[in-house]
Amino acid sequence: MAERVVIFDTTLRDGEQSPGISLDPIEKLEIAEQLAKLNVDYIEAGFPVASQGDFDAVSEIAKQIEGPTIAALSRTHLADVDRCWEALKHAEKARIHVFISTSPSHLEHMLKMTPAQIIKETKAGVYRAKQYTEDVEFSPQDATRTPYDFMLEVLNAAVESGATTLNIPDTVGYGIPWDFGALIANIRKEIPGDYIISTHCHNDLGLATANSLAGVQNGARQVEVCVNGLGERAGNAALEEVVMALAIRSDLFPGLTTQIRTEELAKTSRLVSRLTGYPVQYNKAVVGRNAFAHESGIHQHGVLSDRSTYEIIDAKSVGQTGSQIVLGKHSGRHAFTDTLAKMGITLHGDAVNASFKRFKELADKKFEITEADIEAIVAQEMGVATHETYKLLDLTVSGGLGVMPTAKVVIDKDGDTLVGAAEGNGMIDAAGKAISKAIGVEAELVGFQVSSVTGGVDAIGDVVVQLESKGRKVSGRGISTDVVEASARAYLDAINRLMRISDRLSEVGIAETP
C-alpha cells in the first residue's frame, strides 16, 4: 500500500519572515485558501505571540479554512502556548508547534540556559500543548549543530511529554544530504514511541530540497516547505520541488505519495509571488517562466518531436502551459477577464477595475499584451485597489548629459492632491525623492531590481524595490513600458505597504518607534 508523505506548508510563517514581506490578514487568508485547493496537509498560519496581526491572521484562517490542519508556532513558554491555542481553537483540525533552541551557540548567545533547563522547558511546553490538542509537534531549533546525544535527550523528553511529530530543523542550512539523511535514520532508530519524524531545511548552501529528500529516503514522513522556496535568508525547501521530485523519481521513493493537486502548483506560485512582492526567478524549477522554455535549436527539435526528449515534467501536470495568450488595445473587459480565468487568476470588484484600467493604459503603448504581461499587471494591481492610501496621478522627469536630473510627482490621497519635486542621482532616484517629499515619509531605498517581462522594444519593465523606514523593510512592485514610471509606481507601492503596517499598529495601540 502507498505511504503518504505529509506536506507541511510554512509559507505564511517562515516564508513571511523573508525580508520585506509583510502580509495583511486578508492576504494571508487568500494564500491559505489557495493552499487548501493545493491540498496541503498542514498550513502553518503564523506565530500568534509575535504580534496582534499574526494572531488575527491565524485566528481567521483557523475559523475559515477547511481541509488542511491549521498549525501555529509557539515557544515553550506556557503563556506562548496558551496564546497559540487561543488563536487556533476554532480550527476544524489544529496543531500546536512547540520549539526551543538546542545548539551550543543558541544556548550561550541567545537563551543563556543550561542543557538541563532546556529539557525542563521542553517537557513543560509540550505537556501544556498536549492539554489543548492531541496533535503536537516539537522542534529542537538548530538541530544540525546540536550535539547528537543531547538532541536525543531533548527529543525523547518531547515524545514522553506527548509530542506526536518530531521535526528536525536544519535552521541555518548547515546540513549535507548524506549526513542529514543519516541523522534522520539514527533518530528514528534511537527514539522509541509513536511519532512522525519531519524535516525543516533551509537553503543557505542551496541544499534544502536535497536534504529534505534525503530525510524522506531515511524515514521522514513529513516535509516542511514554502511555496517558491521563500523563507529566512536563502529560504526554505521549495514545496513544488519536493513534491515533483517525489512524483517524478518514484523509482527512488517506492510506495511514497503526497496528496498535492500538482495542477495547482503554478497558480499557487503566482499568487504567492503577487502578494509577497517576491518575483519568481525565470529559471526556477517547476514554476519558473523558463521551466518549460527551449531556446537551443537541438532542444526545440527534440521537444517538437516528442516532449519527453528534454522535459521530465508534463507542463500541464503542474498547471503550466507553453501557449501564450495575446491581447491588444482593442480587447474588451470580457476578453480580459476570460483570459484571467483561463490563467487561473480570480479577481473581484475594485481589483478587476484597477487591473483592466492598467491593461488598457499599457495596451495603448504596447502592440501586444501577452500572458506574461497580464501576470505582471495583476501582480501590481491585485489586492492593492482597496488598500491604497496614495495613488500616482502624474510624473514628469527630466535629465541629460551634464544636467541634474529632476522629477515632479502629483499624488492623490483620499481626494487631496499632493505635489513633490526633487533632484536626484538619476531620474529614478529623483522620482523616489519627489514621492517622499510629497508624502512626507522618510524611507531609504535598500534594494532595486528591474526586469523585462517580455522581449521587444516595447517590453514592459517590472521593477521591485525594497524600502527601509524606522527599521522596517517592505517591498513594492511597479510595471510600465517606461522604467522610470515603473520605478515610481514600485516606490509608491512600498510606501503604501508601510502605511498599512503603521495603520495596523495604531489599531492595536502599538506606537511607532522614533
pLDDT digits (tens, 9 = 90+) for 424-478: 999 999 999 999 999 998 888 888 888 776 665 566 778 888 888 887 778 888 8
The alpha-helical segments, DSSP class H, found in 39-114 are 52-64, 78-88, 104-106
Average pLDDT over residues 66-92: 97
pLDDT for 382-391, tens place per residue? 544 445 789 9
Q: Which of 308, 315, 390, 384 is CA-nearest to residue 353?
A: 384
Report how far residue 288's alpha carbon sits from residue 310's, in angstroms, rounded to the nearest whole number. Answer: 16
Instruction: Give the per-residue SS3 of 402-437.
Output: CEEEEEEEEEEECCEEEEEEEECCCHHHHHHHHHHH
pLDDT of residue 231: 94
Q: How far is CA 136 from the centre of its chain?
A: 24
Can you give the residue ranges of every domain in the chain?
Answer: 3-276, 324-386, 393-507
pLDDT of residue 385: 44
| CATH architecture classification, 3-276 | Alpha-Beta Barrel (3.20)
The mean pLDDT of the chain is: 87
C-alpha cell at 360: 488598457
Q: Which of 111, 28, 105, 19 is CA-nearest to residue 64?
A: 28
Top pLDDT among 379 and 101 is at: 101
242: helix, strand or coil: helix
Is the pLDDT score of 402 beyond 80? yes
C-alpha cell at 296: 537551443
Give pTM, 2 decimals: 0.74
Sign of CA dihedral 38, 39, 41, 43: positive
How would residue 323 be classed by pLDDT, with cut points 50, 70 and 90?
Answer: very low
Is the pLDDT score of 300 beyond 50? no
- For residues 364, 365, 369, 373, the Cα torsion angle rounded to the nearest 10 degrees is -120
Report how far residue 337's alpha carbon sits from residue 351's, in angstroms, rounded to the nearest whole number. Answer: 11
How would residue 296 be classed by pLDDT, with cut points 50, 70 and 90?
Answer: very low
CATH code 3.30.160.270 for 393-507: yes
- Detail the residues annotated as belonging to a binding site for Mn(2+): 14, 200, 202, 236
- Detail the residues annotated as belonging to a binding site: 14, 200, 202, 236
Among 191-205, 206-220, 389-403, the least confident range: 389-403
Is the pLDDT score of 319 beyond 90? no
